Amino acid sequence: MKIISTAVAAPSSKRRGLMSMIDNISWNYFCTFTSSYYLSLSACRTLMWDYYKRIRKYDGEIFFVAEPFSEKLGYHIHALVFVPKESVKAKALGVKYYERMWQEVSNNKRNRCLVTIFDPSRKANMYITKDLMLIDESNFDLYNRSEKLTETTTNKNK
């Protein structure tokens, strides 16, 4: 069974504000997290919260979008990570450190992750816009020390 979304969501003022806000954060990394097993929205949220708990001691922030797979049931995750006070080990290992962190929070289950250094010449919303604007069953959140923004959209625009 395939999940196919044909909805094109018009940008709400809340989404435009969110896109503007994420553009103003100096992200360090862009991540894609996938799994060979079924990931529900709830599981995505739990994994991202566990991931965030590991980076918040370095004043980290994470913005993520759980996006439905087009070819199978379940979700995968795109995330932007900001860690202003990286540990010496994290700086030395770079993307490998954050890839290992995903393996740890997912209990080393069969999964795949790709972490790349964020390119500041691309705006943050260039990494994430498709997920926020075109998928009507997306779930996204920003975890940081000062606020928790939550929006779950499911067929709101139909």
Average pLDDT of the segment spanning 15-38:
85
Residue 23 pLDDT exceeds 80: yes
Domain-embedded: residue 89: yes
pTM, two decimals, is: 0.78
C-alpha 93/C-alpha 104 separation (Å) is: 16
In a domain, 115, yes or no: yes
Residue 79 and residue 22 in contact, taking contact as beta carbons nearer than 8 Å? no
State pLDDT tens for residues 130-150.
656 655 445 777 888 665 444
Q: Which residue has the higher pLDDT, 22 or 18?
A: 22
**C-beta of residue 32 within 8 angstroms of C-beta of residue 77:** yes
The answer as to whether 7 is a domain residue is no
Is 70 exceeded by the pLDDT of residue 66?
yes
- Does residue 136 form part of some domain? yes
- Looking up residue 142, the CATH number of its domain turns out to be 3.30.70
What is the DSSP secondary structure assignment for residue 57, as one 8-state letter? Answer: G
Predicted confidence at residue 22, as pLDDT, reads 85
Tell me the average pLDDT of the chain: 77
Total number of domains constituting the chain: 1
Q: 82: burial class by Cβ within 10 Å (0-12, 13-18, 19+)?
A: buried
For residue 103, being part of any structural domain is answered with: yes
Q: Tell me the per-residue pLDDT of 72-129, one tens digit each, with 9 for 90 and over.
A: 788 889 999 999 998 888 989 999 999 999 999 988 776 789 999 999 888 787 777 6
What is the extent of the structural domain holding 54?
A: 27-152
Residue 15 lies in a domain: no
User: Is 17 part of any domain?
Assistant: no
